[in-house]
């Protein structure tokens, strides 16, 4: 289940909150991040990029460049996969990425911007002031938090 926090103060003090997704991703990249099939799929889905070798990718423009040049939204989604114990701040993600993130089935996110409404199924545990509840769709999530 994806754990979704909508307020920072609801996150336990012993949990790391990752706000600067570019820095964390770039650090991992320089420290032998494993480029798994999951990460390659995220790169392709979000940025249209294909992994090449080392820290390089082929961008959707066709040029070979560093994976540091992936979009922040793409890096955020990869951080959710690579840091399952931390809470990943998704504030910098566009709606296109948020729609994919909320369909993830593992991880923890801080979601303070509501994405546009679409008929998307979810497997979310929403953590609010009133406690936790399971949320099975984006329309249901929007109804609960707005």
Nearest to 52 by CA among 39, 33, 73, 66: 66
Residue 28 binds another protein (CB under 8 A): no
Residue 19 binds another protein (CB under 8 A): yes
Is residue 57 within 8 Å of residue 64, measured between CB atoms? yes
Nearest to 37 by CA among 76, 81, 3, 67: 81
**Residue with Cβ nearer another protein (2 or 100):** 100
Q: What CA–CA distance (Å, rounded) separates 76 from 127? A: 20
Beta carbon of residue 108, minimum distance to another protein (angstroms, whole number): 16
Beta carbon of residue 63, minimum distance to another protein (angstroms, whole number): 6
Beta carbon of residue 91, minimum distance to another protein (angstroms, whole number): 5
Residue 94 binds another protein (CB under 8 A): yes
Number of residues that bind another protein (CB under 8 A): 32
Q: Which of 35, 67, 73, 138 binds another protein (CB under 8 A)?
A: 73
Left (φ > 0), alpha (ψ -120 to 50) or beta: where does 28 sit? Answer: alpha
Residue 135 binds another protein (CB under 8 A): no
Interior angle at CA 48, CA 55 and CA 62, nearest 5: 70
Residues that bind another protein (CB under 8 A): 6-8, 19-20, 22-23, 46-48, 61, 63, 69, 71-74, 89, 91-97, 112-116, 145-146
């Amino acid at each position: 289940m994806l754990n979704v926090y909508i307020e920072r103060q609801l996150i336990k003090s012993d949990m790391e909150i990752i706000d600067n997704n570019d820095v964390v991703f770039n650090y991992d990249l320089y420290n032998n991040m494993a480029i798994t099939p999951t990460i390659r799929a995220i790169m392709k889905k979000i940025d249209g990029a294909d992994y090449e070798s080392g820290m390089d990718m082929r961008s959707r423009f066709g040029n070979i460049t560093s994976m540091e040049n992936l979009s922040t939204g793409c890096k955020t989604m990869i951080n959710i996969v690579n840091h399952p114990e931390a809470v990943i701040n998704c504030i910098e993600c566009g709606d296109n990425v948020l729609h994919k993130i909320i369909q993830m089935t593992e991880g923890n996110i801080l979601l303070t911007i509501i994405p546009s409404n679409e008929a998307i199924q979810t497997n979310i545990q929403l953590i609010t002031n009133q406690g936790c509840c399971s949320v099975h769709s984006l329309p249901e999530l929007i109804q609960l938090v707005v």
